[in-house]
Structure formats: C-alpha cells, structure tokens
Structure 1
C-alpha cells in the first residue's frame, strides 16, 4: 500500500515591485541624448527662419499690396502686381537674359570644374600650390572682377578686341550685341566659380577608394576610361549638389551684369539686364514699387524651385544609369 506524500505548501506570488524612480541626473542624461542633436543644429534653423523664411513670407505679403517706397503700404491688390509684371516687355527681356547667361555660365563651369579637379587629383608637384591657386579667383571681390572684365571686353580699347584685331578678326561690340554681352558676363562668372567647384569635386574624388583604380589598371583601362567608368559615376551626389547650387546662383546673378558698364542698368536696350536687376529697378528705380518688386522676387523664387527640381530629376536619372563603377578593360569587356 503506497503512502502519498503530503502536498507541498504553495508559494505565494511575489508582490509586484514598485517602479524605480529615476533621479534628476538620470533624466537629464536621457534628455541630453535625445535633445542634444537637435540643439546642435537648431542655431542654423533659427537663423534661417529669421533671415530666410520670415523675409520670404513678408515678401509674399508685400507682393499682394500696392506698396510704395515713399508712401509705404497701400491697398490690397491681390494678384494684380503679378499680372502687371508678367505683361511688361522688360520682364520677358530680363527673363531671356537670365536664362541665356545662366546656360552660358553654369554648363561650361561644371564641365571645366570636373576636368580641373581630375588634373589636381593626379600626382602633381606642388599640389597644394595649384589647389590653392584655383581658389584665388573666388577670393577676389565680384565688383573688382566685373570692373577688370568690363575693361577687357571694352568695345573700343578692350584687350580682347586688340587681340582679335591682331588676328585679323573684326572687333566685337561686347556692350551692344546681346549674345556677345552674355558671353562676356558668363566669362566673369566662370572665372570666379570654376575653381571653387573644382575643389568640391576634388574632395569628392579623393574619397573614391583607390583599389577601384588599381583594379582598373590591372584590367588594362587607361586614364580616360577610368575617368568615365569610375570617377564620374562615383561623383553622382556631388554633381547633383553642384548642379543645383549652380542653378540657384545662376538665376540670381546680379553683381556681374550690374557692374558690366558704368550705368548699371543692363545696357541701353536692357540687352543684359537680368531678373534681379529688373527687380532692383522696380523697387529703387523710377517706379519705386515694392509691391511689383516683391512679385518679381516671388516669380523668380518659383522659377528657381521648378528648375532645381527638374535639374535634380534629370541628373539623378542620368547618374543612376551608372551608379556603381564597373571594372573595365581596355577593350571594353568586363
């Protein structure tokens, strides 16, 4: 006959522990980890809100009012300022000149900057000297550059026409012809900004892994093939950045065309007057209409946004076709 063991006494469930309260120092440590990154970047956004967003919003408010430089704020006119500005022939002329100068300066500028950066990335003697040398034009004040180039491209006594005359070529009317004036102003922009963009491309090129070039050399690829198959695809983010910044700066050009002659009005027929110069003429010229000037500023802002988005989409689509470098041989086989 089996004897049953006495049942074991059941243990009572442990009482739930009260949650531990964090001390002030521990809470401060957690807040520091979570909030410190936002505090570090907050000065930029605060300054941008004060110097960027507020003027942009205030300009929109001014653009819908009959605002005069002397009389101050007038009646609410809605979109009348925009409609009046768009119908002005000078606005269309300024828009044409802006796009022409932008294309003549930005496209050659980006291409030349990539080539110069590739040369500076090679094993040159006194590399630091050459790299600092390409940045010197950027340090020169834009007013000084404009004054020097306006003399170089003078119609009667300019150095460029003197050289052309020595070659048997007729003198070019740099301040009278539309295309010639755009070429002269674009040369100023390219002179100032090509070296700056070249250093940005150079920094991106130096971040490319060197073993990719070593593998390409073992496969028999030359320098040109390495440039188009490795360097250019790896520069995709930098190219997008340079194109967007060049678009913003090119459409806002003011100093170079303003100082191209002594009057600063964009020529007798406004043949090189840009949109920003037209904005200045509306606000501080004979009309002194801040409302119309603000409308031009907002039209230019919208144009820059649209062109920037188009440039971003195009460059991203083109570069995504060759987003990663592929080992190549001299015969083109992988």
Structure 2
C-alpha cells in the first residue's frame, strides 16, 4: 500500500472525529469543567470571600436536605413545571395543526407565534406581574366584570404558580409549536390521502395519523420542557419587586434557593453547589425516564410482524424430486 493510500485511509477514518471535535472541546471547557468543579465545591466548606475552608464530605447535602425551605422550593418547582408544561405542549400541538392547514399568509402567522420567544424574559415577567397584580391588575379587573372577586396572585401559592406558568407558556408555546409544525410537514401526504379515501374525517386523521407520527417529536419537546421547567428562574425572580420568592416562599424555586445560598447573607458556595447538583440529578432522572418512555412509545406498533412462511403442499413438495429425477434421466439418456 502506497503512502498516498495510507493517508487517504487515515483521512477517511479520522475525518468524522475531527469534524465533531470542536463541539466537544468547547463543551468540555464551558460545560463539563464547570459541572465537575461544582461537584468538587459541593464537598467543601466554601465561602464567597474566604474561598475553600476545608473538606466536609456530604455535610452540605445533609444540611440542604434538612432545611424546610429546600422542600418548599422543590414543591414550587414541580408545581410550576406541571402547570406550565402540560398546557403548553397541548396548545403547541393545536397551534401547529392550525398552522399546517391552508392559511393565507402562512409565513406571517408562523413568525407571529415566535414573537413572544424573542421578547426578553425580564420584560415578559414585568408585564405579567402588572397583569396579575393583586388589586389593580387587568386580570382582576376582567374578573370583576363577570362578578368574580379579586384574586391575591402574590399572596397564594397556587395562584402565584398559575401566574408564573402563564408567563412561561406565553414565551415557549410558539417555539414548541414551530418544532411540532416542522415534524407535521414531514408526514407523508399519502397517509392522509389513503385515510380520506377510506372515509376518515379530520378528527380521525388527527388522532390516527398525526399524533402517532409525532410521538418522537412530542417526547423531544417534553424532554426540553422538563429541563427548562425545572431550571426556571427569570419569571419567578421578577414576579415581584423584592425577588425573594414571596414573603412565605410561595413561588420560591430551586434555582432561586440556589441563588440565595450562594449570594445571600450566608454566602455558602458549598451548599449552593450541593443544591445545583441535586437539581442536576433530578433533571437527569427525568430526562432518563423521558428517554426510556420515548423509545418504548416510538417502538410500539412499529415492530414488523414476522410473516409465517407458507408451506408448500405435500403434493407440490413431492413433485420437486420427481422433476429433478426426470431431468437427470433425460440427461443420462442424451449421453
């Protein structure tokens, strides 16, 4: 083998790795190293000014878990996540279905649903905090016109979660709708044409063709919503002027609790890092469950059934050796 052939073979083997190497190098510097460094800090007594003050094992994790504020923040995080993600995905599927129909000015409407995503989270939070004000908000004013008493959006844990969930839905529903719309456009038209010939209506086609074909995309959106929903910070942080999660921690989330531990009066980077890693493990667990569910849903109903091999009749099988014997006899006679 010549030197040129060896170089060509080496280039063929190494080129794919060289093409993807820049991403992994940047990820190792900006993502993996901070993650591992946070894990190392979580096992130390670390102060913002004093720095490392000694190894203390799992004391930071134990101290965090023993705090009632941690469990309140965990409850609030899951509550806001469920109140935002479930309606958001349902609305995104419906919006994508409407955008996939024969609308006039399709590009305009598709750009329109993405505009809330472009708006800065702080601006959205400030606007919605005024809309959901306790006494003078527009939502309470509209409720007053239909005879409903004003709701204390900032005083109640449940209603504050509803208000923050609306902020999240306002920003992310259009973004997820465009992802689902792209998957809808990849569905072959032959499936809908065959269903129309068979007499299936729009609703039947939606449930029997569109939704099954979108299973993988929907689960991708679910995983992204899970990761983003459990890391929510901007919306609850800007829900009031104090930014502390309420007087009784009504809407305090894990990321806000992490911020308070790291930059609050205590300034304990060790415990803040412990909260960060607990949150990371929770997100990793939910991502793994979503991935397993995605594989199971994607593979369900798509496994081809093994067609049984048809057995030849006894008469046909018996005729085969007879024909072979006849050919041999003919050939021997010719010789």
Distance, in Å, in 1 between the alignment partners of 2:109 and 2:133 is: 31
Paired residues of 2:133 and 2:154 also in contact (CA < 8 A): yes
Alignment partner of 2:108: what SS?
helix
Distance, in Å, in 2 between the alignment partners of 1:170 and 1:70 is: 50
Cross-structure match for 1:22: 2
Number of residue pairs the alignment of both structures matches: 303
Distance, in Å, in 2 between the alignment partners of 1:265 and 1:176 is: 13
**TM-score, structure 1 as length reference:** 0.88
Shift of 1:27: 2.9
Shift of 1:75: 1.1
| 2:244 is equivalent to residue 265 of structure 1 | yes
1:70-149 aligned within 5 A: 70-149=49-128
Task: Return the match for 2:270 from 265, 288, 291.
Answer: 291
Write out per-residue CA displacement over residues 235-293 of structure 1, whole angstroms, 9 at most, x where no aligned residue: 12111211111100000000000010111100111100100000000000011000000
Cross-structure match for 1:33: 12
Distance, in Å, in 2 between the alignment partners of 1:194 and 1:122 is: 18
Task: Return the match for 1:191 from 170, 195, 210.
Answer: 170
Shift of 1:315: 4.4
Alignment partner of 2:52: what SS?
coil
Distance, in Å, in 2 between the alignment partners of 1:173 and 1:316 is: 43
Cross-structure match for 2:326: none
Shift of 1:37: 1.3
Write out per-residue CA displacement over residues 24-66 of structure 1, whole angstroms, 9 at most, x where no aligned residue: x433322222111111111111111111111111001000000
Alignment partner of 2:270: what SS?
helix
| 2:193 is equivalent to residue 214 of structure 1 | yes
Shift of 1:94: 0.2
Write out per-residue CA displacement over residues 193-244 of structure 1, whole angstroms, 9 at most, x where no aligned residue: 0000000000001111100000000001011111111111111211121111
Cross-structure match for 2:309: none
Greater helix proportion: 2
Shift of 1:308: 1.7
Distance, in Å, in 1 between the alignment partners of 2:69 and 2:82 is: 20
Task: Return the match for 2:204 from 225, 231, 234.
Answer: 225
Distance, in Å, in 1 between the alignment partners of 2:73 and 2:89 is: 24
**TM-score, structure 2 as length reference:** 0.88
Paired residues of 1:94 and 1:272 also in contact (CA < 8 A): yes
Distance, in Å, in 2 between the alignment partners of 1:253 and 1:80 is: 26
Q: Which runs of 5+ in 2 are unaligned?
A: 304-335
Distance, in Å, in 1 between the alignment partners of 2:302 and 2:268 is: 49
Cross-structure match for 2:282: 303
| 2:169 is equivalent to residue 200 of structure 1 | no
Alignment partner of 2:275: what SS?
helix
Cross-structure match for 1:10: none
Distance, in Å, in 1 between the alignment partners of 2:106 and 2:6 is: 52
Cα RMSD after superposing both structures: 1.2
